[in-house]
Every structure is written in C-alpha cells, then in structure tokens.
Amino acid sequence: MKILVINAGSSSLKYQLIDMDTEEMIAKGNCERIGIQGGIFSHKTADGRKKDLQVEMASHTDAFKLVTAALTDKQVGVIKDLSEVTAIGHRVAQGGAIFSKSLFINDDVIEGIKSLIPLAPLHNGPELQGILASREIFGKDVPECVVFDTAFHSTMPKKAYMFAIPYEYYEKYKIRRYGFHGTSHRYVSARCAQLMHQPLEDINMVTCHIGNGSSLAAIHGGEVIDTSMGLTPLDGFMMGTRSGSLDPSVVTFIMEKEGLTPEQMDEILNKKSGLLGISGFSDDRDVTKAEIEGNKRAILAHEMLSYQIIKFIGSYAAAMNGLDCIVFTAGLGENQTHLRYSICRGLKFFGVKIDPVLNDKMIHGREGKISAFDSKVAVYVVPTNEELVIARDTKEIVEKLTYASTEDKTVVDLEDI
C-alpha cells in the first residue's frame, strides 16, 4: 500500500508518498507560491534523485498536476502510474467540536470542514482547496481521508478548554480552546512511551513542540488534559513571529493609540511579534548568532522564551499532580541544545537534570534520552513525524472500508471508523 500525504497551505502544497509496508518515505516535495508569480516546485526521492522547477501554478489543481507528473516521471518518478497510489491522506488544522478523529472524506465531511473556516481561515480554507483539487485530479474512486490537528486535544475537560468570557459566545460561536499540533503531540508521546517501555497511560508527560510555531501538551492517563494553543495558534508562549498569550488590554490599548483595524492588529500579533518583535530576528539561528555576539535584545528574547516554557511545564506538572517525562520535538526542540538545557535547568526543582553530553548529541534527527541517570524526570528528544501518523490513520480507515464493503456489502457508518 502506497499512501500520498498532503499538507496544503494558502500558497503551498507539501507532499510525501509513503510505502506502508516499510513505513518509509519514497518521495516528497513542495509546491511553493501557488497563485503567486515566481512559483517553485521541488521533488526528491528517497534514493536522492531530484527535480526542481520554476513554474507558475495558478491553483492547487495545477500544483497537483506537477506532483502526479513527478511521481510518474521516467527520471525521478517512483511509481509507474497513479493506480499505485492506494489512498490519499490530508492534514486539516481545525476540526472544531465537530471532528474528534480521522475520517474518510465524503461530502458531509467536506461541508463540515467548510463550516469551520471562520475558526481557522488561514488553514481550513486552503486545506479544503487541496482536498477538492486532489479529488479533481485523482477522481472519487481513490479513497481520501482527513486527519485533524485538533483531534488529539479533544479529550481536554471543559474546565481546561473554556474561556472565562460570557457563555453565550461559546454557544453562538464555539469560542474555546482547541489546541493545534495535535498530530505531532500524538506521534511523539506514543513514540516516547515506546522508548521508555511503559504504557502511555502510566506516564505524566509534557510534550514540547517547539519550532517557528510552538505548543505544549499535558498528557495524563494517555489523554491530553491541557494544551498551550487556544482558539487559534496565536495563544501560548512566544514563537518566531507570534506573541503568545498576553493581557487582552494590550491589544485594545495599542489599537486605540495607533488607530489600528482588527486586521492590522492581527498582523502585528501573528507576524511581527515573538522572537522577531523582541530581538529583530524571526529565525532562531539568527537570534542565537546575535546572542553570541552580545546583542541584548537577542539575549532577552531567549530568556523570555525559556522562562515562558518553564512556567507552562510547571503548571502542567501541577495539573497532572506529577511529572514523569518531558519530550522535545520540532525544529527548535529537536536541534537547539542550548534551549533544551536552559529549560531543563529551570526545572531542577522537579528533579530534572540533563546530561550535557547526551543533549549535544541528540540533534539532526536523532532520538533518545538526554536526562542524567539520576534525574527524577526523564527527558527525551523525539523527532516528529506527522506525515506517518496521517498515513497510518489513512491506512486504517481504508482497510476498514475495504473489509466492510467486502464482507458486509453495507454502507459503512463513519462513527465506527
């Protein structure tokens, strides 16, 4: 079984073709600047063959045509024809209160995703375009499934996901905490439990997805009980260009003083704040370089980031009544050794002790334990693999559909999948 995993953005389309017999990527690529002049297409196979093009892509449908052409290309292709693609799995950011698990895509699911666009206009809209374009290219005979980023967080209790605003806004607009990066948190938590040789249900774990976009999740009894992102990915701690949590009056104060519209304020909080707002650099590598050179704002930015993450981990440890394990993942979590060290040093009250030698070794895709032998809390680095989670869910759904249609000859109830 070969499954094509799609992650569509407003002007991009990332893909991976995964062989589910080995669970290994056999080809991957990216379509950039869709609908914008100067389009770029890149394709790479597991054995190192590449194809890079500068090509205009007016729509996601045009992007899919490039993807399918590359997959079957004589020089860089990995399949003879598209019939070798068993199924397609899509990532969608916002499942709202409607979707709490991965599903086979039918017209009702598409309408549900469309209804959630107001909650995540920058994500659900483009991701829906990707689904519709995929259906147009592959046809309805190829099963397509969707995995929601919010689904893993759907176990949060109401006391954790509600905001203390008039209840009518929750009833009218479903304003609440949803959380994001759920597919990543789900993968690394399960993988870390395997590395620890313990059931996930027996571990109080905080998973730290730290990249340009970042979030933490508190996992107790195998389920998420709290997470740092909220209604949108803006909530939580500071990120590359996002502010994270702040006093709501800061927003109204700046808007009044500067005469800003909601759209302009949204732009500031999402794209001009965080590490960029404090240090002047959005890429952490640049922040690190500036910090080494003695730049006081860069030093402050890293101090703020570590401090905020430490506070979240501490609060989650209290919420779970204990802490057994911390997991670092994503770009910074997997590679920024100084950030991991700083965070763990700030948690020594909990008995967290990091091994500096192991910490320095655990970069560039390596996974493993970085805590010292006498640390009371285990600390791991686990590279995330969201695409594999999407492929696994898609495989499971398709196999259930195939079994149901073969054995029962009845319509499959999506609630049973």
Q: Is the pLDDT of residue 411 over 60?
A: no
Q: Give me the catalytic one of 149, 226, 235, 355.
A: 149
Instruction: Let me know if 107 is a catalytic residue.
Output: no
Give the pLDDT mean for 58-76. Answer: 91
Q: Nearest 5°: phi and psi at 52? A: -125, 130
**pTM of the predicted structure, to 2 decimals:** 0.90
Q: Which of 1-10, 68-77, 199-208 has the lowest mean pLDDT?
A: 1-10
In this prediction, residue 171 has a pLDDT band, given cuts at 50, 70 and 90, of very high
| Residue 85 identity (one-letter amino acid) | V
Q: Is the pLDDT of residue 410 over 70?
A: no
Tell me, what's the pLDDT at 406?
Answer: 47
Cα separation of 17 and 1, whole Å?
A: 10
Q: Is the pLDDT of residue 408 over 80?
A: no
Report angle CA 398, 91, 4 to the nearest 5 degrees: 55
Other Cβ atoms within 10 Å of 98 Cβ, number? 15
Burial status of residue 233 (CB atoms within 10 A of its CB: 0-12, 13-18, 19 or more): buried
Cα separation of 151 and 279, whole Å?
A: 34
In this prediction, residue 384 has a pLDDT band, given cuts at 50, 70 and 90, of very high
Average pLDDT, the chain: 92
Residues belonging to the chain = 417
For 231, residues 6+ apart whose C-beta sits below 8 A from its C-beta are: 119, 163, 175, 176, 177, 178
Q: 345 and 356 in contact (C-beta within 8 Å)? A: no
The CA–CA distances, whole Å, from 174 to 234, 270, 273, 392 equal: 17, 22, 27, 30
Which residue positions form the known binding site for ATP?
A: 14, 209-213, 283-285, 331-335
Tell me, what's the pLDDT at 124?
Answer: 87
Tell me, what's the pLDDT at 405?
Answer: 52
Give the pLDDT mean for 55-82. Answer: 91
Which residue positions form the known binding site for substrate?
A: 91
pLDDT digits (tens, 9 = 90+) for 221-261: 999 999 999 999 899 999 999 999 999 999 999 999 999 99
Tell me, what's the pLDDT at 177?
Answer: 96
pLDDT digits (tens, 9 = 90+) for 86-123: 999 999 989 988 999 999 999 999 999 999 988 887 78
Tell me the Cα Rg of the chain: 22
Q: 274 and 234 in contact (C-beta within 8 Å)? A: no
Q: 247 and 346 in contact (C-beta within 8 Å)? A: no
In this prediction, residue 400 has a pLDDT band, given cuts at 50, 70 and 90, of confident
Which residue positions form the known binding site for Mg(2+)?
A: 7, 386
Q: 415 and 100 in contact (C-beta within 8 Å)? A: no
